[in-house]
Structure 1
């Protein structure tokens, strides 16, 4: 019995000792961090005049002066971080001069050597800084580092550095292939990384969309959102008929958003596509495009097996003025099953918008819909409120 108590006490003391040790280490780390921050602030004050000089002369021709004096490691890091901050903010020749002074000061060379360190954390920090300095000579080593490592959040840091530093589109494509080779659904993130490159967006998007890898094509399609690149529109029209499900769906969304005038046969083809995502995207686009001629197709789509297609079709019908809303009411009155349910749900949502309209045009449009609604379903009578708790006054008192 005593031996068990001894073991228990020993275990408790060991746990308390480990907890105390952990607290001491945390305090030391906090103190060390605070000291480093104080030293950073001191070095920033020390080199304030030099930073002012760089800002004043960065737009002038000629080489910029190097940091003065012999610098300590943390002091160099403070100046390097300030240069990297400005590189992100400036464009054109100003950025080029800042990148050049990073090379002249030996910052790029030091981080290139750090890429060969045995410590992964040090290599990762060097990769981040090399991307911040747009060091194109680091791209081969960064690509090797990305290809040899497992996918993690660190891979995103390396990939972003490659995109910032690359001066050849082949390097960006190789980076994207390595990043997507793990099969992760990160196409939107990959597109965001790709757009950080300083290369021409149009030519890079053309190469992505012409590639045989569906993953790269999807990245290119995602990257096209918000990008005005007219030369890729013919390729986009071809991808609408792609056999790859995800590629076709994304291409259709872009195609519909960029083509305000659609041919009738194109609308029929998209609304009868075998992929529900394509049908849903087409149905959603027909309302904002004011394609009143597609009302019969949208009414038919209210019977679609997929709820998203039905929802988008009803929403577009409600946006197609009086004719579209009347078609909704007819479907709700004479339809059955899922068609009637989808129509009734959208009608109810439209009728609840009475208090949302402030402009005269919106109020007129709403009143027209209200008249159509009342013609099909009748006027709703407000229930008469019963008055309770009020004493009667008057009456027959002859009894």
Structure 2
């Protein structure tokens, strides 16, 4: 019994010692963090004049000067961070000059050595910094890291670094292959990483659109939103008709229609009868924007579609196609039935409610014409005049 009590006492002492050691470690880490913050502020003030001088020399023909004096590691990190920030901000010749300064200052060599570190976190941080400094010679090493890496947030960090450092289109293709091999639905993320490249994006997008891997095609379609690349329009036209995957065909159709193409009648009929509702809805919406009055019969039939988006976009396009399209909506609302009638009524009321907001003369004339058509189908709606209240003056008139 006595031995058990002794063991328990020793165990309590050990626990108290570990707790005290943990508290001391926390205080040490806190003090070290505060000390680092103070040193960082000091070094930032110390090199403020150097940063200002560099800014005045960025657009000159002279070489940018190296940091003055012998630098401790924290000073190097502060200066490197400032240069990487400028690399992200500037373009063209100014960016090239700042990158050259990173090479001369030894920042690139230091990060290349860290790629051989035993600590994984240091290797990841080095890959990030090498990407920020556009270190081309680091691309093969980064691709090897990406090839061995299991899918995680680190995959995106290394992939983005490869996109920034790559100087060959084949390296970007290899990077995309490693990112997409895990079977994750990261096409939006991969497209964002791809657009970090400094290479010609139009050539890369053309290669991706013609690639046999559908994941590559999806990345290209996502990357094209917001990009003006006229060279890829023929490839989009081909994908909108011949692509086997429904989601690929739908995205290709949306992108192709956003370029305001001149569609032939047989192409419109083929797309409006597509098995994918997203394709039918996208075409129905574009016909109104293109003011394709010859497609009014197709839109009328599309209002009987089983999908809500197709019916809604068809009615919206009819409302945009002048008096003829609006009259067809009124006729559908009066003689139609079921869902097509409800859709037509909704867009008719929408047009009539928005008419009071028109200020331009041509818009007022167009609305008045539609108002006459509306009155012919549904009758004139008389607005009740407000009753003016008269205040009684004088005494009691009830008698």
Query: In structure 1, what is the Cα distance between the partners aligned to 2:73 and 2:276?
Result: 59
Match of 2:289, SS state, is: coil
1:76 paired residue number: 76
State the 1:100 CA deviation: 1.5
2:58 paired residue number: 58
Query: In structure 1, what is the Cα distance between the partners aligned to 2:376 and 2:155?
Result: 62
Query: In structure 2, what is the Cα distance between the partners aligned to 1:41 and 1:364?
Result: 67
1:376 paired residue number: 377
Q: Is the 8 A contact 2:240 2:250 kept in 1?
A: yes
Structure 2: segments with no counterpart, 5+ residues? 1-14
1:285 paired residue number: 286
2:196 paired residue number: 196
Match of 2:198, SS state, is: coil
Q: CA offsets per residue over residues 310-337 of structure 1, 9 Å max, x none? A: 1111111111121111111111111111
Structure 1: segments with no counterpart, 5+ residues? 1-13
1:48 paired residue number: 48
Query: In structure 2, what is the Cα distance between the partners aligned to 1:45 and 1:94?
Result: 24
Aligned length: 381
Classify 1:28/1:248 alpha carbon distance in 2 versus 1 (closer, same or farther; 3 Å).
farther
State the 1:96 CA deviation: 1.5
2:228 paired residue number: 228
Query: In structure 2, what is the Cα distance between the partners aligned to 1:223 and 1:23?
Result: 52
State the 1:183 CA deviation: 2.5
Classify 1:51/1:221 alpha carbon distance in 2 versus 1 (closer, same or farther; 3 Å).
same
Query: In structure 2, what is the Cα distance between the partners aligned to 1:393 and 1:178?
Result: 94
The alignment's TM-score, normalised by the length of structure 1, stands at 0.86
Query: Residue 340 in 1 paired to residue 336 in 2?
Result: no
Query: In structure 1, what is the Cα distance between the partners aligned to 2:329 and 2:142?
Result: 58
State the 1:108 CA deviation: 1.0
The alignment's TM-score, normalised by the length of structure 2, stands at 0.86
Bigger Cα displacement from structure 2, 350-359 vs 138-147: 350-359
Match of 2:68, SS state, is: coil
Bigger Cα displacement from structure 2, 102-111 vs 152-161: 152-161
Q: How does 1:62-211 map to 2 (within 5 A)?
A: 62-211=62-211
Q: CA offsets per residue over residues 342-363 of structure 1, 9 Å max, x none? A: 2122222222224433333333
Q: CA offsets per residue over residues 9-53 of structure 1, 9 Å max, x none? A: xxxxx9xx98xx79994x876665454333222212111222122
Classify 1:154/1:387 alpha carbon distance in 2 versus 1 (closer, same or farther; 3 Å).
farther
Query: In structure 2, what is the Cα distance between the partners aligned to 1:365 and 1:87?
Result: 53
Bigger Cα displacement from structure 2, 136-145 vs 375-384: 375-384
Query: In structure 2, what is the Cα distance between the partners aligned to 1:37 and 1:285?
Result: 57
Q: How does 1:178-327 map to 2 (within 5 A)?
A: 178-241=178-241, 242-327=243-328
State the 1:200 CA deviation: 0.9
Q: Is the 8 A contact 2:260 2:290 kept in 1?
A: no
Name the Cα RMSD after superposition.
3.0
Q: Is the 8 A contact 2:293 2:321 kept in 1?
A: yes
Query: In structure 2, what is the Cα distance between the partners aligned to 1:277 and 1:22?
Result: 60
Query: In structure 2, what is the Cα distance between the partners aligned to 1:223 and 1:169?
Result: 16
Q: CA offsets per residue over residues 60-111 of structure 1, 9 Å max, x none? A: 3353222111111111000001110111122222212211221121111111
1:3 paired residue number: none
2:329 paired residue number: 328
Q: CA offsets per residue over residues 275-313 of structure 1, 9 Å max, x none? A: 111111101111111111111111111111111111111
Query: In structure 2, what is the Cα distance between the partners aligned to 1:112 and 1:214?
Result: 35
Match of 1:45, SS state, is: helix
Bigger Cα displacement from structure 2, 375-384 vs 75-84: 375-384
Q: Is the 8 A contact 2:66 2:101 kept in 1?
A: yes
Match of 1:243, SS state, is: coil
